Copies of this chain bind each other. A is one copy, B any other.
Amino acid sequence: MPVDYTTEETGALIEAILLVSTEPPTIDEIAVGTEISVKEIEEGLAWLEQQTDRGWLIQRHGRRLSLVTHPRYADRVRMFLGLDREAKLSSASLETLALVAYQQPVTRSEIEAVRGVDSSGVLATLHARGMIEPVARLATVGNPIQYGTTAIFLSHFGLQSLDDLPPIGIINGKDGHEMLAAAQASAMATETADEA
């Protein structure tokens, strides 16, 4: 079906779609579902994401889009919903979460290689709190689980997407991501079947 929407109207339509979707849709799903081209949806979405007077943000988790309240209004929204500030994450949890967030997908062994300490309990806690989830299994012996962060993680930290994570930057002339990756890789070599 041909569409005669302006970019602005397509953006508003996406807003309407995100309001009614029970599951966060992908751009492709919106395009197929509304019979509007992916290109036009992307343009509308770009326009929508530029609007600064909204009470919400579009959160991208992987390829899925959803509406979440703007972090700017977090305290009042929390007040209205009668929510307490979430229980604080322990420093062990936070450290593990940071590693999953920056290096995902990542296995337990890879995490332990960097942290130098058993991390099974912390991973279970983070999983129970909905911050991380198994995203795949590594194709090595024992097929260990690879973890990634969830949409709840993004919301908790008020991030629109993983691209919003503050960059680790350079330490001692080396890129932080590369160093973490190297530590991760050394674990890969000794990956055991204990996740099976």
Instruction: Tell me the A residues contacting B by CB distance below 8 Å.
Output: 8-9, 11-17, 19-21, 25, 30, 33-36, 51, 53-56, 67, 69-70, 72-73, 76-77, 79-82
The distance from the CB of A127 to the nearest CB of chain B, in whole angstroms, is 24
Contact B53 A16 (CB under 8 A): no
The distance from the CB of A83 to the nearest CB of chain B, in whole angstroms, is 10
What is the CA–CA distance of A15 and B15 in the complex, to the nearest angstrom? Answer: 12
Q: Which chain B residue shows the least CB distance to A52?
A: B12
Chain A residues touching B, majority SS: helix
Copies in the complex: 2
Q: Which chain B residue shows the least CB distance to A16?
A: B55
Contact A69 B33 (CB under 8 A): no
Q: Which chain B residue shows the least CB distance to A17?
A: B80
Instruction: State whether A56 and B13 are in contact (beta carbons under 8 Å apart), knowing that A33-B79, A33-B80, A80-B33 are contacts in the complex.
Output: no
What is the CA–CA distance of A51 and B52 in the complex, to the nearest angstrom? Answer: 13
Contact of A76 among B36, B67, B69 (CB under 8 A): B36
A selection of 15 A-B contacts at a CB cut-off of 8 Å is A11-B55, A12-B53, A12-B73, A15-B54, A16-B70, A16-B77, A17-B55, A17-B76, A17-B77, A19-B67, A20-B77, A21-B81, A30-B80, A33-B79, A36-B76
Across the interface, which residues of B come within 8 angstroms of A80, CB to CB? 17, 20-21, 25, 30, 33-34
